[in-house]
Structure 1
Amino acid sequence: MRASRLVAVIVLVFAIACAFYLFQRRTTTAGFVAAADLPAFHQLEERDIRRSEVSAADLPDGTVRSRSELIGHYTMGRVQQDHPFDRAGLGPELPPHSVTGMAIMGLDLTPASSLGGTLSAGDLVTIVQVPDGKGLAPVASDRIRQVRVLAVVKDQKAILVALNPDQAKAFSSGAASRPRILVLRTTPYSGP
């Protein structure tokens, strides 16, 4: 008799757990998802976003609930089609086409290059390539101005910046003879 009660209790607990799971999966809420697979550092436009019913269980804590909170922001990593947007996976809102056609470059994250930890995504900086050698000082051509910081990735000790084609060419041509990098913030991020 005891064995049959134990089996009945186990079956009942299992049935309740299954019902709860199915209820969670069926509960949906309106949200905004990627309309297509999106690459990292893609600036969001209207065509990249669609409204969809999403399982409540699949929504991250920082789910964006308004289309206006998405337009102009950029993705910090790849976003799969039909995946909801998460605030933690988005960079700040930038003026239109701020990332389009840009080369994404990584710089070493140091206390100096991160401006003592105050550098953040969206800031505009000047990158100074410093010649390797005693007595040599950087000249005006060693400066790359108006460079947008896209991310400060502390765990990978990197600063990711967006360079237009001319800036990328200047950066690459100076890299061998000017291996040290200084970062000077010219404009802290304050919005688009």
Structure 2
Amino acid sequence: MVAVLVGIFAAAYLETKTKIEVQVPKADLSAYYQIRQSDLTSKVFASNNVPSNALKKSQQIVGHYTLTNISKEKPLTKKQLTDPNHLADTVAVGIPATPSMTFGGNLEAGDIVDITLVPVKSQVNSQKNYLASPILFSRILVLGVKSAPQANTSIASVILIALPRKSQSDFATYMPGATLVVSRKL
């Protein structure tokens, strides 16, 4: 009988020791939403129900943008959010992508990539007789990767990126007909 009581008290003690308080969204949040303090509430979870990389304090969350739709009252991780500086003065652009451009499906929201536009050989500078140089767009935030409709079999998905507004004109000018190379650091 004493062993049973000790077991019950030990279990109750361990139950209180393994709780953790986490800031969570009060309501569902849409993708690309900037989180405010008023969007958060405190919730206590059993520590085994909180991801090890969960953001626990509001200072880690407030001001950041969501990269995906976020469910209410669920712990947030760094991979679900992006720093507001990554979206400052950017425009969202969709790029048709092959499986190799998405690294076989391993490219995801929050990744930072470089995009190189390589002009086709037939594009010759009209003023001088040489091929145009590749254009590099570095440190581009991936907003998401979406599957393309089945009708077009050469394009498997669309990569949605946050392109700096100052690069928008160059991107639009040089993209048609160019080969796109997407790369990221390992």
TM range, smaller chain: 0.5 to 0.7
Superposed, which structure 2 residues align to 1:1-192 within 5 Å?
A: 32-33=24-25, 40-44=31-35, 46-47=36-37, 49-51=39-41, 66-68=56-58, 70-71=61-62, 73-76=64-67, 84=73, 91-134=79-122, 139-140=133-134, 142-154=135-147, 157-176=157-176, 178-185=177-184, 187=185
Structure 1 residues 119, 38: CA separation in 2 closer, same or farther (over 3 Å shift)? closer
* CA shift for structure 1 position 111: 1.7
- Number of residue equivalences: 147
Identify unmatched segments of 5+ residues in structure 2.
Answer: 1-21, 44-48, 125-130, 150-156
**Contact 1:42–1:100 (CA under 8 A) maintained in structure 2:** no
Structure 1 residues 116, 67: CA separation in 2 closer, same or farther (over 3 Å shift)? same
**Contact 1:43–1:99 (CA under 8 A) maintained in structure 2:** no
State the distance in 1 between where 2:55 and 2:139 align: 32
* CA shift for structure 1 position 147: 0.8
**Contact 1:40–1:76 (CA under 8 A) maintained in structure 2:** yes
State the distance in 2 between where 1:95 and 1:31 align: 18
State the distance in 2 between where 1:122 and 1:65 align: 16
**Secondary structure at the counterpart of residue 152 of structure 1:** strand
% same residue: 24
- RMSD over equivalenced CA pairs, Å: 4.1
2:12 maps to what in 1? Answer: none
Higher strand share: 2
**Secondary structure at the counterpart of residue 100 of structure 2:** coil
State the distance in 1 between where 2:118 and 2:143 align: 22
* CA shift for structure 1 position 164: 1.2
Farther off after superposition, 129-138 or 98-107: 129-138
**Contact 1:124–1:149 (CA under 8 A) maintained in structure 2:** yes
**Contact 1:147–1:163 (CA under 8 A) maintained in structure 2:** yes
Q: What amino acid does structure 1 have at the position aligned with 2:102?
A: S
* CA shift for structure 1 position 38: 6.2
State the distance in 1 between where 2:101 and 2:55 align: 35
Q: Could you state the TM-score of these two structures normalised by the residue count of structure 2? A: 0.55
**Contact 1:72–1:94 (CA under 8 A) maintained in structure 2:** no
Identify unmatched segments of 5+ residues in structure 1.
Answer: 1-29, 54-60
**Secondary structure at the counterpart of residue 122 of structure 1:** coil
**Contact 1:112–1:182 (CA under 8 A) maintained in structure 2:** no
* CA shift for structure 1 position 51: 2.2
